[in-house]
């Protein structure tokens, strides 16, 4: 399987939860330069919510 971890060259959001009994982990990199990581189901949910509301397709590629 390919490495799906986002990088500045490949911005995005990656979440992993290998089984129902393990905590989720997540990482995000935006084309504006913002980065974040999270561990634990609640923190990963907050990461996803924040990324989708404020980064990714939420703002233009100009970094604003």
pLDDT, mean of residues 2-31: 92
pLDDT value for 63: 47
Whole-model pTM: value is 0.82
> What would the pLDDT profile of 26-47 be if each residue is shown by its tens digit?
999 998 999 999 999 999 999 9
pLDDT value for 62: 52
Question: Quick one: 12 exposed, middle or buried, by C-beta within 10 A (0-12, 13-18, 19+)?
Answer: middle
* pLDDT band of 57, cuts 50, 70, 90: confident
Q: Could you tell me if 48 and 15 are in contact, meaning their C-beta atoms sit under 8 angstroms apart?
A: yes
């Amino acid at each position: 399987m390919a490495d799906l971890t986002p990088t500045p060259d490949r911005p995005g959001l990656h979440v992993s939860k290998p089984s129902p009994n393990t905590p989720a982990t997540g990482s995000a990199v935006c084309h504006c330069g913002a980065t974040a990581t999270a561990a634990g189901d609640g923190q990963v949910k907050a990461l996803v919510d924040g990324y989708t509301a404020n980064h990714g397709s939420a703002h233009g590629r100009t970094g604003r």
